[in-house]
Amino acid sequence: MNGVRLELRTQTPWWLNLVLPLAAIGLTLVLCSGLIVLAGANVFTAYTKLFLSSLSTPFNLVETVVKATPLVFTGLAVTVAFRAKFWNIGAEGQLLAGAMAAAFIGACEALPAWSLVPLMVLGGALAGSIWALIPAVLKARYKVDDVVTTLLLNFVLYYGMMALLDGPWKDPLSGYPDSPDIRAAAEFPILLRATRLHLGALLAAAAAAAVWLMMRHTTLGFEISAVGENLKASRYAGINIGAVILLTATTSGALAGLAGVGEVGGIHFQVMAGLSPGYGYTGIVIAMLARLNPIGVVPAAIFFAVVITGAEAMSRATGVPVFLADVIQGMSLITMLAALMLTQYRIRANRTEHE
């Protein structure tokens, strides 16, 4: 009988870091093509639209970068947290916390105009941090499972926000559940005329570089990796585990908070129900696809930005529902997790012939 088996690898070749995400994406597209066929469309046309429409005109290209901006932030947030094995599924809630802080500060009439943008950035980062610190403290002090707490706090924050928007924060003019617009001086500067490319994109790129620097060149990054790879050995070596977890959560929450700040300051200028179509969760897929490498987060975020923006064009042209973008996101996470197994194991064919 022929078959395959898994064998433990003694070493992981470096090129797997590149090949695995690409293979995972490839497999995802193959698997998703079944859905396109079911939707009655031509697979080739659908994928061409999905990938090329967002890159076809300069405007679309810029829009893709605009879309990628919050994804870079949430991808980085998850990367930092996962490196320490702090399972932060709560980037979504931390993003909203940052957005609320930014909307609040940006609408504050008492502040001098020049201070608004810096204060929004700081305040948003701080709000994200605080929201991430709650599960971190629970984990570090009381060993409460971080997957559960970070995930559930998303809903606490979301419904808390909705309660505010339906009550004290309701737009007095329109009566919609939207927060008041931020002041004009609080709007992020536009980097490219006649586009929506705002300061946030620059901050996101800087954040990717900063996170890389932190992970590679600082004692904190060193300790985060150590704690993530082997908690017990890190404790034995004298690393203060609790402090590392709290600092990781602070950094992670701040990054996710900045995603929200960018959306408020550069795109929506207010907080409303649909502010984030799950950027925090997409951040998890991005971080995994980037194999927790901060620089890899940037291309991974751009890929999903392409998929998300391209989905509209594909839907218009072929009638395939836009939800295909969500399926691709979910499927890439699954295929990537399956592919990660290959970093530790190799597949070998069972040979039946003698010799």
Q: Tell me which residues touch other proteins (CB under 8 A).
A: 5, 7, 10-11, 217-220, 222-223, 225-226, 229-230, 232-240, 348, 350-352, 354-355
For other proteins, the closer of residues 165 and 292 by Cβ is 292
For residue 312, the number of C-alpha atoms closer than 13 Å in the C-beta half-sphere is 8
Neighbouring C-beta atoms of residue 176, cutoff 10 Å: 13
Q: Nearest Cα to 256, choosing from 138, 141, 115, 100? A: 100
CB 171 within 8 A of CB 178: yes
- Separation CA 345–CA 339 (nearest Å): 10
CB 32 within 8 A of CB 327: yes
DSSP result, 29-87: HHHHHHHHHHTT--HHHHHHHHHHHHHHSHHHHHHHHHHHHHHHHHHHHHHHHHHTT--
End-to-end CA distance of the chain: 16
The minimum distance between CB 243 and other proteins, in angstroms, equals 11
C-alpha distances out from residue 163 to 108, 124, 126, 331, Å: 20, 20, 22, 33
For other proteins, the closer of residues 9 and 316 by Cβ is 9
The minimum distance between CB 252 and other proteins, in angstroms, equals 18
The minimum distance between CB 125 and other proteins, in angstroms, equals 19
For other proteins, the closer of residues 15 and 114 by Cβ is 15
- Residue whose pair of structure tokens reads 């990537």 in the numeric block: 336
CB 120 within 8 A of CB 101: yes
For other proteins, the closer of residues 237 and 341 by Cβ is 237
- Residue whose pair of structure tokens reads 């004290």 in the numeric block: 168
For other proteins, the closer of residues 51 and 222 by Cβ is 222
For other proteins, the closer of residues 267 and 288 by Cβ is 288
- Residue whose pair of structure tokens reads 């602070």 in the numeric block: 250
For other proteins, the closer of residues 7 and 145 by Cβ is 7
